[in-house]
Amino acid sequence: MGSDIRGLVVIVTGAAQGIGANYSAFLAEKGAKVVMADVDEPGIKVLAGKIERSGGEVVAVRADVSSQQDTEQIASLAVQNFGRIDGLINNAALFSALLPKRSIFDIDVTAWDRVMAVNIRGPFLCCRAVLPQMQEQKSGSIINISSNTVLSGVPGFLHYVTSKSAQIGFTRALAREFGSDGIRINAVMPGLVETLIVKERYSDADQQRAIAVRAIRRAQHPDDLNGVVAFLLSKDSEFITGQTFNVDGGALFH
C-alpha cells in the first residue's frame, strides 16, 4: 500500500516536466494537496489541469526558485489555498538544460553562476520561505533532490555535480538546525532517469552504460523515485533526518 500521504500539503518545484511532473501527479493521486511551481508557466498549467481533471487537488504557480520574492509567493500560495505546508520537494534544477556535457573551459562564469543560483540558492530560498510555517506547525519534511553523479563524479558536468554535492552539506546542516522544531530534511540521489528529455538527449550507448553498472540491470523510470519520496514525506520516516538516499538501482554504494 505504501506510506500514507493523504491530506499532506506538498510543494514541488520544477514541476512542469520530467521527474517533478511525475512526483506531482503521483502525490495528488495518493491524496496529497500539491503546489506545483516552475518557471515554465504554460507547462505547469497544462499539467495541473490534467491532474485536476483526474480528481487531484493542485495549485500551479509560475516561480523562479532563484528569486526570493517568487519563493515567498510559493509559500504564501500554499498557506492561502491549503492552510499549511507539510512538505517541500526541492526538485527544480538546471539539469537537462545543461546538456550536452562540456569541459571546464567551455563553462563560462555566467553559466556557472546561473547553475549555482538555481540549484543551490533555489533550495536555500525555498527552505527559508517554508520554514517559518513549518516551525509554527512544529512539523514538516523537506526533500532535496541531489544526484548520484555526486558519487560517480561524472566528467563534463562540473557546475551541475558541484551544485548537487552542495545539497548534501546543506541537507545535513539544516537538519541539525531544525530537528528540535520537528522538521526533517533529507536528500535523494536519483541515478540516470529515463525522462523524455534524457531519452532524447543521451545517446543509446550512454543509457546502456548506465544500466550495465547497476545491480538491478534495467532503465530507471521516474516512478522508481515515488516510494522514497512518499516515505520521507510520511510519518513512516519520522525519526530520519539529515540522510541521503541513493536511488539508482545499485549502481553506486555509499
Binding region for ligand NAD (CB under 6 A) = 13-14, 16-20, 38-40, 63-66, 91-97, 118, 122, 145, 147, 190, 192-193, 195, 197-198
Q: Of 45 and 182, which CB lies nearer to ligand NAD in the complex structure?
A: 45
Q: Which cell numbers in the block locate residue 9?
A: 500539503
CB 86 within 8 A of CB 8: yes
The residue sitting closest to ligand NAD, measured at its beta carbon, is 18
Q: Of 76 and 238, which CB lies nearer to ligand NAD in the complex structure?
A: 76
Give min distance, CB of 95 to ligand NAD, in A: 4
Using alpha carbons only, give the angle 12, 15, 18 rounded to the nearest 5 degrees: 125
Give min distance, CB of 53 to ligand NAD, in A: 20
In whole angstroms, what is the distance from residue 87 CA to residue 68 CA?
19
Q: How many CB atoms lie within 10 A of CB 132?
A: 11
Q: Is position 23 annotated as part of the catalytic site? A: no
Q: Of 37 and 85, which CB lies nearer to ligand NAD in the complex structure?
A: 37
Q: Of 141 and 147, which CB lies nearer to ligand NAD in the complex structure?
A: 147
Q: Which cell numbers in the block locate residue 181?
A: 522544531
**Which contacts (CB < 8 Å, 24+ apart) does range 102-105 have?**
102/156, 103/156, 104/158
Whose grid coordinates read 493542485? 58
CB 61 within 8 A of CB 47: no
CB 137 within 8 A of CB 178: no
The string over 98-108, giving b where at least 16 C-beta atoms fall within 10 Å of a residue's C-beta and e elsewhere, is beeeeeeeebe
Catalytic residue among 23, 95, 160, 178: 160
Catalytic residue set: 160
